[in-house]
């Protein structure tokens, strides 16, 4: 097993339609498109850098209830539409306006339908898909939420299988597909339990060039199936290893149970993929604010087959 010194930090400074403006005192001030929101961020233990007058410009503020930062309600201080577009640039190297459109919403929880810190993973995914030669790349996006990665992969020409246990998230993803003008893209939106789906695909003999896994700590499938990250992830990864294509394969695991260890998930992935060789890249994702502070958001492990 590797020593801890191989773990590292991958940071994002946002993109034109997203910016982390400031953070601190357990909060973060962000701009999604033209809307500025003030949300909880327990990892921001330091003091904010911007004055209170800047924070007061937020369109909406999420007030948590009790100890659970995801339970509470939004206070609307300035007009906010029911949904509004946030564009994800398809390529940082291109200035021709090509993008994928995500519709953000204040949909009850403090999530807005987009995790912008995933941007480095999206770029890495697109680089890997470009290396698939001689056939259409196949992507499996498990716990796919509202489909940012699925849409970017589809725009790159991949055939995408998007799996999520939330009917609301699947519908939201389809709305994002329409907003992105990708109605002809090859995306299968599947309401299903991720572990059951993976097991069935193993029996079907399916394979994918790239697999994205973004599981919650706890969750329930559409038929009440119970998901527990620490109990169920090892067996899921065992199945996913069997679903990786023999050539040009890659996998991304993202863990938002931030109190866990990146080292633990790195070793789990290495065990699951021990017979495949390849390279691993593990650590934490973080967003850098305009004021300079770094907010840790999630743990990750990326694996890619050696050329």
Decide which of 197 and 258 is more confident.
197
Chain center to CA of 150: 10
Q: What is the DSSP string of 216-236?
A: -SEEE-TT--EEEHHHHHHHH
DSSP designation for 293: -
Q: Which CATH number does the domain housing residue 222 bear?
A: 3.40.50.150
What confidence category does residue 2 fall into, taking pLDDT thresholds of 50, 70 and 90?
Answer: very low
Angstrom distance (rounded) from CA 190 to CA 184: 17
Q: Are 141 and 150 in contact (CB under 8 A)?
A: yes
Average pLDDT over residues 160-179: 97
Q: Are 72 and 65 in contact (CB under 8 A)?
A: yes
What confidence category does residue 4 fall into, taking pLDDT thresholds of 50, 70 and 90?
Answer: very low
Q: Are 291 and 50 in contact (CB under 8 A)?
A: yes
* Number of domains within the chain: 1
pLDDT single digits (tens) 113-136: 999 999 999 999 999 999 999 999
CB contact set of 50 (below 8 Å; sequence gap of 6+): 21, 22, 29, 291
By C-alpha distance, which of 135, 176, 123, 194 is closest to 159? 135
pLDDT single digits (tens) 47-96: 999 999 999 999 999 987 655 555 788 999 999 999 999 999 876 544 44
- Determine the structural domain holding residue 79 and report its residue range: 4-304
pLDDT single digits (tens) 274-285: 999 999 999 999
User: Which pTM was predicted?
Assistant: 0.92
């Amino acid at each position: 097993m590797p020593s801890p010194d191989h773990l590292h930090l991958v940071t994002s400074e946002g993109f034109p339609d997203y910016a982390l403006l400031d953070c601190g005192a357990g909060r973060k001030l962000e701009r999604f498109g033209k809307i500025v929101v003030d949300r909880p961020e327990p990892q921001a233990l330091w003091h904010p850098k911007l004055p209170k007058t800047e924070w007061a410009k937020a369109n909406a503020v999420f007030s948590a209830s009790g100890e659970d930062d995801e339970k509470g309600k939004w206070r609307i201080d300035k007009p906010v539409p029911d949904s509004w577009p946030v564009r994800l640039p398809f390529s940082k190297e291109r200035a021709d306006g090509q993008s994928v459109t995500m519709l953000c919403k204040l949909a009850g929880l403090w999530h807005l339908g987009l995790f912008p810190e995933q941007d480095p993973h999206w770029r890495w995914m697109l680089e890997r898909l470009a290396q698939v030669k001689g056939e259409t790349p196949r992507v499996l996006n498990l716990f796919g939420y509202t489909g940012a990665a699925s849409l970017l992969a589809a725009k790159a020409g991949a055939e995408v299988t998007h799996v999520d246990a939330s009917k609301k998230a699947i519908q939201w993803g389809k709305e994002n597909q329409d907003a992105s003008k990708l109605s002809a893209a090859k995306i299968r939106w599947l309401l299903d339990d991720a572990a059951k789906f993976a097991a069935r695909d193993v029996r079907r003999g399916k394979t994918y060039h790239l697999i994205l896994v973004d599981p919650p700590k706890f969750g329930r499938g559409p038929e009440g199936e119970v998901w527990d990250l620490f109990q169920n992830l090892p067996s899921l990864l065992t199945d996913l290893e069997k679903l990786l294509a023999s050539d040009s394969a890659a996998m991304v695991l993202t863990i938002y149970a931030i109190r866990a260890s990146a080292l633990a998930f790195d070793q789990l992935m290495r065990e699951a993929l021990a017979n495949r060789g390849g390279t691993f890249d593990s650590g934490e994702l973080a967003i850098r604010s305009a004021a300079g502070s770094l907010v840790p958001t999630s743990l990750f492990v990326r694996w890619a087959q050696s050329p």
